[in-house]
Amino acid sequence: MVEMRKPIPVDEAVRAVMEHASSTGIETVKLDEAYGRVLAEPIIAKHDVPPFDRSPYDGFAIRSVDSAGASGNNRVPFSVIGEIGAGQVAQKPIGEKEAYRIMTGAQLPEDADTVVMFEQTTELDGGFTIRKPFEAGENVSFKGEDAKEGELLIEAGSLIHPGTVALLATFGYAQLTVGKRPVAGILSTGTELLDVADELVPGKIRNSNGPMIEAQLKRMGIECRSYGMAADELDTCTEIVEQALSEVDFIITTGGVSVGDYDYLPAIYERLGATVLFNKVAMRPGSVTTVAVLNGKLLFGLSGNPSACFTGFELFVRPAILKMMGCNAPYMPKMSAVLWEDFTKPNPFMRFIRATWEFRDGKVIALPAGFNKSNAVSSIARGNCLIVLPSGTRGYEKGAVVDLLLIGSETGVQEWTV
């Protein structure tokens, strides 16, 4: 008899997964290993930045008082008494109508309070003239204007990206505390599956879900262990899942989650004593996505259909991994766009359409990326976002404003918003 499943809303399914995503702990890493990790401690400025008043341009450091009265008809002369390169310090303060030639980033000499850019001067032997007065502080980067000592720079829970690395290096964070990365296990189920290198034979397809999920994990910097492909045989699949759970922090299986005679994931969960959080979600594609938990470890049962598998990973697995690492913004960012072609298909469930977004005619527009059934592969390759169409609609026409979830974004948002 076919099992009757009650679908739950997408936001409820996301919430259930996140409530069971357990921390993997913390560890200390070197700065050159920090990219893609999640800060487990706040980053505090150890000193002012800049650490001294400095020049943002190549030019001349002067006292602003000496520029008073300068004009096109009254050019004021200055004599150059030295040169200050980046990393160098002037040997003596400047006096009346004196200047230092100064390079970008160099510390202002004592008593100087203004920088005159080269293009604002007319050079003479041993000096230059100016034709306008300057105010104190003009063309100066002041000590502490970027960050003050003791200032909170980045909160714990933030994902470390290249800009973060630059900031950490600026303040001397050679080592830092981060969330541990979980280790994933991947198992592709289905008697119909062939290896990528195999020749096609009648009734068989190549396993695309396994390599795809590995790539999705790599994009997050997550180590994974592949448990290969397993035929639709209950005892064998159960043994593999049980072994994987003893070796990894969570497991992703593909296939075997529908309600056919050869779909064994529900039976495997029952044999292992796992608690099923949900086994049907009110979404397309991927309505049969199933998630269970056993001894604090999540078991993600994703669809065997590639597009449904891809979407299930992005909606449920990705934010769970980020939460395990302590990330405070684990969800895909959202933006609005103009739908650029009709999508007349009815939506009894919330629909996630693989799509591309771009700027056109001064607008952010979104186009379905091609063939959009759950077993599609080509649209995954072309898409850079998911168009979100709420349930209960009869279709959308070109020109409608829709929500997009951005795939592959380096930083996310704190709350689920669709």
Tens of pLDDT along the chain (418 residues) come to 345 678 999 999 999 999 999 999 999 999 999 999 999 999 999 999 999 999 999 999 999 999 999 999 999 999 999 999 999 999 999 999 999 999 999 999 999 999 999 999 999 999 999 999 999 999 999 999 999 999 999 999 999 999 999 999 999 999 999 999 999 999 988 777 767 787 888 888 787 899 999 999 999 999 999 998 777 788 888 999 999 999 999 999 998 766 554 467 888 899 999 999 999 999 999 999 999 999 999 999 999 889 999 999 999 999 999 999 999 999 999 999 999 988 888 778 999 999 999 999 889 999 988 766 555 677 788 889 999 998 876 778 899 999 999 998 888 999 998 8
The reported pLDDT for the residue numbered 260 is 55
Nearest to 407 by CA among 331, 293, 338, 320: 331
Nearest to 37 by CA among 205, 166, 158, 163: 158
122: Cβ–Cβ under 8 A, 6 or more apart, which residues? 75, 128, 129, 130, 131
- Residues in the chain, total: 418
Which tokens go with 128? 């230059």
The reported pLDDT for the residue numbered 161 is 95
381 three-state secondary structure: helix
Nearest to 302 by CA among 332, 323, 278, 322: 278
Which residue(s) pair with 121 in the sheet?
130
Residue with token string 């607008």 = 363
Q: Say whether the peptide bond before residue 50 is cis (omega within 30 degrees of 0).
A: yes
The reported pLDDT for the residue numbered 261 is 45
Share of the chain above pLDDT 70, in %: 95
pTM: 0.89
Q: Which amino acid is at 240?
A: I
98: Cβ–Cβ under 8 A, 6 or more apart, which residues? 62, 78, 79, 80, 81
| Cβ density class 122-137: b for 16+ within 10 Å, e for less | eeeeebbebeebbeee
Nearest to 360 by CA among 341, 344, 343, 375: 341
CA gyration radius, the chain: 30
The reported pLDDT for the residue numbered 199 is 84
pLDDT tens by residue, 274-304: 999 999 999 999 999 999 999 999 999 999 8
233 three-state secondary structure: coil
User: For residues 62 and 48, what is the distance between their CA atoms, to the nearest angstrom?
Assistant: 24
Q: Which amino acid is at 398?
A: K
Quote the Cα angle for 158-162-166, to 5°: 95
Going from the C-alpha of 168 to that of each of 46, 56, 252, the distances in angstroms are: 10, 22, 34
